[in-house]
């Protein structure tokens, strides 16, 4: 069996040319993330490479949908993720350290230490895991409405597996 051809350009190469990457990643292949979800779909990845303070900078978005278990009652909760990405990439701990030694800090800026070559899956997977929402179904949400503050984003739809049952029995 031949390995699929995977040309992994270096981050610096990509940044120098201002490369733009548009790809669809299969969520099932993001194993660490998939293990946290009860269902996972595909993710649209859009990344642009450049430099900031001589460091490789990656900005873009990852969009997709996944299903998590409600953290209170375990009912499935569908979530649409749209995650902005804005990270500085360092090829080694040493490079990160010297950047820090120059008076920068990794609190105001998200940094990633990676090998010299692009591993798109890892980069995106890490970001998604960090950005996973805390899933609470609409039922638990309304039971405890006063304890939580939610942004006015779109409502998470609770897809109960029993939702269609009443339709079936009445026909």
Q: Is position 135 an interface residue for Zn ion (rule: CB under 5 A)?
A: no
- From the list 31-39, 44-52, 78-86, 133-141, the region that binds Zn ion by CB under 5 A is 133-141
Taking the complex as a whole, how short is the minimal distance between the CB of residue 161 and Zn ion, in angstroms? 14
Taking the complex as a whole, how short is the minimal distance between the CB of residue 133 and Zn ion, in angstroms? 14
Beta-carbon neighbour count of residue 65 at 10 Å? 16
Nearer to Zn ion, 56 or 70 (CB): 70
Taking the complex as a whole, how short is the minimal distance between the CB of residue 13 and Zn ion, in angstroms? 47
Nearer to Zn ion, 96 or 137 (CB): 137
- From the list 4-12, 37-45, 51-59, 136-144, the region that binds Zn ion by CB under 5 A is 136-144
**DSSP bridge pairs for 83:** 62
Binds Zn ion (CB under 5 A): choice among 70, 87, 135, 156: 70
Binders of Zn ion among residues 97 to 126 (CB under 5 A) are none
Taking the complex as a whole, how short is the minimal distance between the CB of residue 36 and Zn ion, in angstroms? 17
Nearer to Zn ion, 74 or 97 (CB): 74
**Cβ-Cβ contacts under 8 Å for 40 (sequence gap 6 or more):** 27, 28, 30, 33, 34, 64, 66, 67
**Burial call 21-52: b when 16+ CB within 10 Å, e when fewer:** eeeebebeebeebbeebeebeebebebbbbee
**Burial call 70-102: b when 16+ CB within 10 Å, e when fewer:** beeeebbbbbebebebebbbbbeeeebeebeee
Give CA–CA dist 31/40, Å, rounded: 10
Beta-carbon neighbour count of residue 137 at 10 Å? 24
Binds Zn ion (CB under 5 A): choice among 12, 46, 72, 95: 72
Binds Zn ion (CB under 5 A): choice among 18, 23, 28, 73: 73
């Amino acid at each position: 069996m031949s390995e699929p051809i995977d040309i992994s350009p270096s981050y610096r190469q990509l940044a120098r040319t201002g490369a733009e990457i548009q790809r669809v990643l299969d969520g099932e292949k993001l194993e660490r993330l998939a293990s946290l979800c009860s269902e996972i779909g595909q993710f649209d990845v859009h990344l642009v490479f450049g430099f900031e303070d001589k460091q490789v900078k990656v900005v873009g978005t990852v969009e997709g949908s996944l299903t998590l278990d409600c953290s209170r009652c375990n009912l499935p909760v569908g979530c649409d993720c749209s995650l902005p990405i804005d990270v500085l990439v360092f090829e080694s701990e040493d490079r990160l350290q010297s950047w820090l030694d120059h008076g920068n800090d990794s609190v105001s800026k998200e940094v990633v230490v990676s090998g010299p070559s692009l591993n798109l899956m890892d980069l995106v997977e890490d970001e998604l895991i960090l950005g996973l929402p805390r899933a609470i179904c609409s039922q638990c949400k309304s039971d405890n409405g006063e304890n939580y503050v939610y942004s006015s984003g779109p409502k998470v739809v609770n897809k109960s597996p029993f939702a269609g049952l009443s339709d079936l029995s009445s026909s």
